Amino acid sequence: MSPSPLAISGHTRVFMVAGDPVSQVQAPAIFNRIFQRHGVDAVLVPAQVAPERFVDFARTIMAAGNIDGLWLTIPHKTTLLPLLGHVDTAGHMAQSVNAVRRHADGTLEGGLFDGSGLVSALRHFGLEPRGRRVLLLGTGGAGAAIATALLDQGVAELALHDLGPRAAQLAQRLGDARVSVPGADPAGFELIINATPLGLQADDALPVDVSRIDPGARVFDILMKHRPTPLLRACAERGIQAHPGFEMLVQQVPDYLRFFRMEAIADTVQADLSEVRRHLQAS
């Protein structure tokens, strides 16, 4: 049975997910279903805003008394940093945020959940990061958040790779002796994480030489594609266990709810994420 239509009134709290484009976003379907199921008088709606207009848009809508926050997607995840009074550790390291909320005094706070979502996804697949040797490909916003979370979770070694100077710059910001920038060779690593955009297109090059991955190593591709990415297909051909990125999004759902002060609902949803997982798999 499908949920009943949303009942919108003058008391309804409004959230927006902003991007350009927004036709691909799945957050409204997921979170509006959760709001209905748990009796929360709130709605999440998409807003397509061009990059050059986004700061003015965000200032205006976050001044509205009934708009409580923003979900952010490409290309807006870095744009609002100058407006934020507080950013969590992952967001500060990555200079990127997934969400923005308003405090009672009008100040804005940003949070980034890519790293926590990745760690929870790894554990869902039975892969504890503590003590592992990890190669992280891609050190943009998501990659930086993942690097921060992996170090917090006690990995033994974290090797970074990216085109240009970004990997070395992130290593310097992290300031941790476990971090190195050795290149893209996966040999010797127990876990390889693809946080690059390679794989978004069917003819993209592989982000790593799969033939060099050790037998028994695991691969996680954060790209949230409906079909296996080229990297996942190449790993399957070699018998390497590899996991898709949609689980990372599943695991972030409770993080968003907690960030927007819905702690009890977050605990309930986290206890059973099967409905969220089914929705994403069917999308």
Catalytically active residues are: 77
- Nearest of 43, 45, 41, 54 to residue 80 by alpha carbon: 54
Edge-to-edge strands, sheet with 179-180? 179-180, 157-161, 133-137, 191-194, 218-221, 241-243
- Cα distance between residue 107 and residue 63, in whole Å: 10
- Kindly give, in sequence order, each residue whose CB lies less than 8 Å from that of residue 150, ignoring residues fewer than 6 positions away: 115, 118, 119, 129, 134, 136, 158
Peptide bond into 51 cis (omega under 30): no
Measured CA to CA, the distance from residue 54 to residue 11 in angstroms comes to 26
* Helix, coil or strand: residue 98: coil
What is the full DSSP assignment across 225-241? Answer: -SS--HHHHHHHHHT-E
